[in-house]
Structures are given as structure tokens and as C-alpha cells.
Structure 1
């Protein structure tokens, strides 16, 4: 992952895709740990309706742990959200 410091606001509005190329959503906000000065999560809106169908109410967003982020560029790539949603025994921390 690119460790070059970036303005946090540059994350807002970027599209998020799984590492398998599935659109997940769009970053609406970030969750911060102010003590450690790090991003801890991405608040997503404009979600992929098929991916989250039956999991959250329409119009709601989700919060993905930032540790799932694999790369930040023109888009943000995250570990495969589909597998995490379908395997409850895994580290399933998607929050509606």
C-alpha cells in the first residue's frame, strides 16, 4: 500500500471495489482515531444494491474497517467483501 501521506478529504467521493473487481460503494466519510492520528474506517454510501440486499435497509450506509483496504489510488481496493459477508465465522465487521 502506498504510504505517502494524503489529505483525508481526498478519500471522500472515491469508489470502493473488492479485490475481485466488484463495486462495493462510495466513500462518504472516514472514521478517525484522533489519538493515534490514523484512519480506522471508511463510511460508504451509494452501495452496491445486489451486494448488500437483505443485509441493510435501503438508503443506509456501511462502515468498513480500514485494515481491509489493500490499495488507494483512483479507486480504493478492499479485501473481498463478498466472502466476508457470506462467512459469519470470519472477521465480519461491516456495520450498517
Structure 2
């Protein structure tokens, strides 16, 4: 992500739709997780989740938190790695990335 662009208010992220880099809708940004000690965004709290991507636990909760390191681009929408899509299809060896956390 280009960190040299003009600074923006982080609240402008709230309400933006989130898509994987493959164009699959993931959810909508409801809130932002911050690390105040390091003055950094660490995650995006999503709601209105794509039911096909998230398990029953996430669907029955208020949403999920996506680590900010997965964010590839921010514009009119937020683009995240396709890792979100792979969460729904854990491989047989148990090498599933458990970063998605129900909110």
C-alpha cells in the first residue's frame, strides 16, 4: 500500500465496501481497530458479511475483523488479499489461516 500519499481521516474508511483482489465482496467496514501506542491501524471490523465466505460463528456474530496487513488498496472500495476467500476452503493438512475473528 502506498503510505506516501496525502494523509486522510481514518474515519473515511467506515462504510466502504471491502472486496478481495479477485473481486469477491467480503463485507462493509463498520469500525477500525487501532494500536494507540504505535499510532497504527491494525484491523478493519466488518459487518454485512458475505455469507459464502464466513463460517456460521461469524454469521451469528456482529461481524469479523480483518487484519489491516491484508489491505492491498483503499479507494472508493477497500481491496484485501484473496486470503479471505481461502478461509472458506481450509486444506486437508489443517494449514488454515485463522486470522478472521468474529466480533
Q: How many residues align?
A: 96
Cα displacement (A) at 1:41: 0.2
Task: Identify which of 65, 70, 74 aligns with 2:67.
Answer: 65
**Is residue 82 of structure 1 aligned with residue 85 of structure 2?**
yes
| TM-score, length basis structure 2 | 0.83
Which of these two proteins has the greater Rg computed from alpha carbons? 2
Structure 1 residues not aligned, in runs of 5+? none
Cα displacement (A) at 1:91: 3.3
Which 4+ stretches in 1 moved above 3 angstroms?
A: none
Map residues 14-53 of structure 1 onto 2, 5 A cutoff. Answer: 14-53=16-55
Aligned to 1:91: 97
Cα displacement (A) at 1:89: 1.5
Structure 2 residues not aligned, in runs of 5+? none
Q: Which sits farther off after the overlay, 42-51 or 56-65?
A: 56-65
Aligned to 1:2: 2
